[in-house]
Amino acid sequence: MELISENRAFGGRYLRYSHSATTTNCSMTFSVFLPPFASAEKPVPVLYWLSGLTCTDQNFMQKAGAMRLAADLGMAIVAPDTSPRGEDVPDDENGSYDFGLGAGFYVNATQAPWDKHYHMYSYVVDELPELIEANFPVTRERAISGHSMGGHGALVVGLRNPNRYVSVSAFSPIANPIDCPWGKKALSHYLGDDEQTWQQYDASVLLSKQNHAIPLLVEQGNKDEFLTEQLKPQALVHAAQQSDTQLTLNMHEGYDHSYFFIASFIDEHLAFHAGHLGLI
């Protein structure tokens, strides 16, 4: 790993690193916040945060206001980049924001040319936690959260790996990507035309197929400009009812898709995860 930068924050440390990732076959960047007093003698649990379209590892750390409470709770936060990057990493030929660089959708691509680098699912589930747990004073207790495309990623990762995470939450997630323009574009390019293969990366489909014991919390603003066409949170509610799974969906009057929304309710999500991590 190569240290890019280090800042003091709320008595803890905010660090950015790059490293050569085997899953994505390129250099990856991630941010980590370590709360005060985190040490080899007193390791802390980790909240993994997955960001949305166009974001990097920095957006959440700088805009969400999460580090103050995380410091008090004794919780580390790890935020990876949203896609592989580099000169050899392909991008959307039209330069659109919703596919390619900054838009990895947390899947393992199977279609050329994306299959060489776009393996964000394996990076988030396997490689990054292994790296974090080998190099930082953290435990193997994990929670996961995210926003928009990252909310989709957090739900999918958590539902597919319930033994790896104690809790899952999301802000404004793309809840049913097989049935929205963003999802259809990304999944068809990364995974091909067989829509059956898309279902393994759709939280609503995963949620509907079986009962899940992992705690699920979702936040959504009713003035979100993407609510009706792209996000479709009611698909999650219907899926949870089908499988008799406990899901909390909080709708908020007047809130949009921005980091103002995330910052307004991030403390509730940190407390939610802290409770399941045994911190409160």
Cα dihedral sign, 269-273-274-280: positive
Residue 149 CA to residue 135 CA, distance in Å, equals: 28
Residue 145 CA to residue 48 CA, distance in Å, equals: 6
Residue whose C-alpha is closest to residue 86's, from 153, 19, 150, 146: 19
Residue 86 CA to residue 4 CA, distance in Å, equals: 16
Active-site entry in 31, 145, 148, 169: 148
Side-chain-facing half-sphere of 212: CA atoms under 13 Å: 31
- The answer to whether 182 and 230 have CB atoms below 8 angstroms apart is yes
Residue 172 CA to residue 226 CA, distance in Å, equals: 9
Scan for tokens 């680098």, then name that residue: 117
224: annotated active-site residue: yes
Q: Assign residue 202 a region: left if phi > 0, alpha if psi is -120 to 50, beta otherwise?
A: beta
Phi, then psi, of 224 in degrees rounded to 5: -65, 125
Cα–Cα distance list, 195 to 183, 191, 251 (Å): 11, 9, 30
Residue 170 CA to residue 182 CA, distance in Å, equals: 17
Active-site entry in 257, 269, 273, 276: 257
257: annotated active-site residue: yes
Active-site entry in 152, 224, 269, 273: 224
Residues with a known catalytic role: 148, 224, 257
